[in-house]
Structure 1
């Protein structure tokens, strides 16, 4: 079944249902993409490191951030970590991805479309080609001065949706 990237609810027998929110046009996966799974961040942080410019005495927390999150949804539990990477706790399948497009949200980290750049293992994530980060809340770098190398982990929430892109025809 092809799912237009709009509201839908998906579930599997041993998982928790997660509603797929509406997706802004700027970050929709390719037309014809099929839903491969939807996951809610149950606990997550974005960790920022303080950078001090040469000659300055204080710095600021600037990107990129490093994610650390536990997700639960249609295919069980997923660990999201630096890379950015996502790994199924159930079957060990793993993907890494790169940002393809973003959609800003005031007061929170942006919503994203990520393109999967590598797969490892066979399992729930092995057919994912794109990932959306949607309905973000929190996760912004703190304002104010900091000292070089200091890190801060900022809590965030979101929904991650994994997509299987259509196979191009010759």
Structure 2
């Protein structure tokens, strides 16, 4: 099947198998930030934006993304760069495997609600698996980022 997917702003035309997942497609095209930890839609590591909405790429057929825009962490480096330092400052990236999924989902949250409260953050990120840190470091990093963003806007 021939698909035309706008991947991180660039048109990619590819002949794919009907059962190829979006996860396999983005990895095949060099987007290695996208990880697969479960293949059952439970871990959030494979999160990408499909037409600006977060989806689990292991659960979406690549053909569904035909004529759509797909964005991975590689495509939003500038948007993510300031935020990820707050996560790192909390030691919440011990092995780093879950970070891309957390970052993609946090950015989706910030786009939807620039100033979420702690409960909204916990709920939005509940689908992300992290075996190293217990999630508290990520939560502190997000809260510190929001606080710094508010302070910056007041200046």
TM bracket (short chain): under 0.3
TM-score with structure 1 setting the length: 0.23
